[in-house]
Structure 1
Amino acid sequence: MANVQKVLATDAALALIERLKAKYGPLMFHQSGGCCDGSSPMCYPAGEFLIGDSDVLLGEIGGCPFYMSRAQYEYWKHTRLVIDVVEGRGGMFSLEGPEGVRFLTRSSLFTPEEYQQLQDEWNR
């Protein structure tokens, strides 16, 4: 059985990631927990945002690691994150800000089968 993907990106998000990688080099993402920039996916040059034991690696989008705080993940672990792009100003610390667009997190519930597979992984 294939691993359940916890985070995906739309074609528009993948295209933006490629543009940003061409400008800034390797990137990373962290799902903001709602402080200064609300709850939005934040894009940084790889290594610029310090990841610690309190962060969970959800997967990769566009070849870039995507993290979330462990506490926030406990609330969202039953959903798949789908990273998209919309017009407008996003987080002031996120690299896409000058592009006139922002990353946006959409979500969908895992199927019962996917959620069971995730629970089996957690219990290993």
Structure 2
Amino acid sequence: MVSLPARILSTPQADALITRLTALHGPLMFHQSGGCCDGSAPMCFLRGEFRVGAQDVLLGRIAGDVPVWIGAAQFDYWRHTQVIIDVVPGRGAGMSLESPEGLRFLVRSRLFSDSESALLEAAGEPARGG
């Protein structure tokens, strides 16, 4: 059986911050929108605090069991891209849970190879919310 490439990954630094935030706040989730400025950063919320709808696509889970969602329009634009959540020093959006930590989550990415894209296409569409 061929394993599918992950649509979402996280760096060890992001995982460490996610672990710390989970200890402080409880179960988490991420949502990646297609907005401008901070709106294009991955936003970290308490799980269930952000209402996921039918127009949201589940990219996968990081740091154990933290779901990462993306808006459908943004997913269509990024469908050939592996999304990697990382963390850097600085202040990001005020709504994201890492804001008071002096760190911010950001997205890095890489294009899937042609063979990876073919595997993902053959597997069908990822799960949607709602």
TM-score normalized by the length of structure 2: 0.91
The root-mean-square deviation of aligned C-alpha atoms, in Å, is: 1.2
Match of 1:49 in 2: 50
Within 1, Cα distance between the matches of 2:29 and 2:84? 16
Structure 1 position 122, deviation (Å): 2.0
What secondary structure, in the 3-state scheme, does the structure 1 residue paired with 2:39 have? coil
Structure 1 position 38, deviation (Å): 2.7
8 Å contact 1:37–1:92 — kept in the other structure? no
Match of 2:66 in 1: 64
Instruction: Structure 2: give runs of 5+ residues left out of the alignment.
Output: 126-130
Match of 2:96 in 1: 94
What secondary structure, in the 3-state scheme, does the structure 2 residue paired with 1:37 have? helix
Q: Aligned pairs, how many? A: 123
In percent, how many aligned pairs have the same letter? 54
The superposition leaves residues 45-66 of structure 1 with CA deviations (integer Å, 9 ceiling, x where unpaired) of 0000000000000000112000
Give the counterpart of 1:82 among 81, 84, 98.
84
Instruction: Structure 1: give runs of 5+ residues left out of the alignment.
Output: none
Match of 1:28 in 2: 29
Match of 1:3 in 2: 4
Within 1, Cα distance between the matches of 2:37 and 2:87? 20
Matched, 1:122 2:124: yes
TM-score normalized by the length of structure 1: 0.95
